[in-house]
Amino acid sequence: MTILLIAEHAGGTLKKSAHELSSAARALDAGATIHALALGAGATSVATELAAWGAQAVRVGEEGFEPYAPLCWTCAVVDVANAVKADVILFGAGALSRDIAGRVAMRLGGTLASDCMALSADGKGIKIVRPTHAGRVTTTGAFSGPGPLVATLRANAFAVLKPAQPGAGNVANLNAPTDTADLRAIVTATVQSTGTRPELSEASIVISGGRSLGSAENFKLIYDLCDVLGAAPGASRAAVDAGYAPHAMQVGQTGRTVNPALYIACGISGAIQHLAGMRTSKTIVAINKDPNAAIFNVADLAVVGDLFQILPALTEEFRKALK
């Protein structure tokens, strides 16, 4: 089996999702030939690390791949997949996969499986486990071709295990497609978020606030606890619509899907749209003064009480414990 990983990085630093892709590829087939592709400014810097994580061959492309252009990157992925005769192409679960994974599957005549939570292979094909019905049900499907399987993997769903033996890591430079007639959309500017908090989709701890916080100023209670625990802040759609938090923090069906080890929902009622974005979290803690809040139906630990009293107390106790 030949597996192609689309490794995302931030200015030359591999994202956690790239390590998850490598681990998933080796778990899918221990004898697979693993190729990795990294594009954009700083891509060359991650080649050695990709080899250490099991890639036998690495292709990198910088010149011509900035600024990001969806169709340019799609063409590059398709060209590499054809060149290596990839049976499986793995993407992370971020904005990049949403933008181009479907295009890649269509152009290669393959099958797209999005938001996969598990992959396994047997003699008959590849089994895929993914959530459906807003995360309330998981389904298992089978893939046997034709064309490659293009899969996007849910963040934090695959254990990160560095291989005992690194890959050969043969590195080749990739040239950007020269035919620009097909490049109908080009990103002209990218605004990077500032701060030291982890990225929401990849964070192992997420603390989200709802409209019950009452104001943007009161979201400081969320931020303070996040900073103590090294967590990422999130928000419900109601809080975002009220102007209490930016859309980039929204967790839910029309926001971000998260799958952390710990999710703390503060003053969130538990609308199905919100549950769709977080119900697969490993452990869910809900804080709400309404004992009948729907969020408690999915919570592993329910705390009935006033978040304005509970959050400052939690922050202080964690601060003491983590000194």
Residues 120 and 212 in one domain: no
- What pLDDT was estimated at residue 193? 66
Residues 152 and 206 in one domain: no
Residues 210 and 148 in one domain: no
CA dist., res. 211 & res. 307, Å (int):
12
Token pair of 35 as six digits: 């190729």
Residues 22 and 164 in one domain: yes
Residues 306 and 170 in one domain: no
Residues 98 and 47 in one domain: yes
Distances (CA, A) of 199 to 30, 64, 66, 94, 120: 30, 27, 22, 10, 28
Q: End of a domain among 136, 155, 182?
A: 182
Ordered DSSP codes for 243-307: TSS-GGGBBSTTSB----SEEEEES----HHHHTTTTT-SEEEEEES-TT-GGGGT-SEEEES-H
Residue 7 covered by a domain: yes
Residue 195 covered by a domain: no
Looking at the DSSP bridge assignments, the partners of residue 131 are 138
DSSP state of 17: H
CA dist., res. 178 & res. 173, Å (int):
15
Domain residues for the domain of 305 are 200-321
Residue 159 covered by a domain: yes
Q: End of a domain among 182, 210, 230?
A: 182
Q: End of a domain among 119, 151, 182?
A: 182
Q: What's the total number of domains in the chain? A: 2
Angle CA 28–124–165, to nearest 5? 20
Residues 239 and 116 in one domain: no
Here the CATH number for the domain that contains residue 111 is: 3.40.50.620
Here the CATH number for the domain that contains residue 276 is: 3.40.50.1220
- What pLDDT was estimated at residue 178? 63
Residues 172 and 33 in one domain: yes
CA dist., res. 272 & res. 321, Å (int):
35
Token pair of 309 as six digits: 């009293």
**In the block, residue with structure tokens 């100023």:** 217
Residues 145 and 244 in one domain: no
Residue 192 covered by a domain: no
Residue 265 covered by a domain: yes
Full pLDDT tens readout for the chain, 323 residues = 999 999 999 888 888 899 999 999 999 988 889 999 999 888 999 999 999 998 999 999 988 888 888 888 999 999 999 999 999 999 998 888 889 999 999 999 999 999 898 999 887 789 999 888 766 788 888 888 788 999 999 888 888 888 878 887 788 888 877 665 566 666 777 766 666 788 898 899 999 999 999 999 999 999 999 999 999 999 999 999 999 999 999 999 888 889 899 999 999 999 999 998 898 899 999 999 999 999 999 999 999 999 999 999 999 999 999 87
- What pLDDT was estimated at residue 198? 87
Helix (H) or strand (E) holding 226: helix 220-229
Q: How far is CA 108 from the centre of its chain?
A: 23
pTM of the model as a whole: 0.81
CA dist., res. 271 & res. 208, Å (int):
14
Residue 116 covered by a domain: yes
Residues 253 and 282 in one domain: yes
- 18: closest CA among 93, 107, 71, 108? 93
Residues 74 and 116 in one domain: yes
Residues 17 and 145 in one domain: yes
Residue 188 covered by a domain: no
Residue 274 covered by a domain: yes
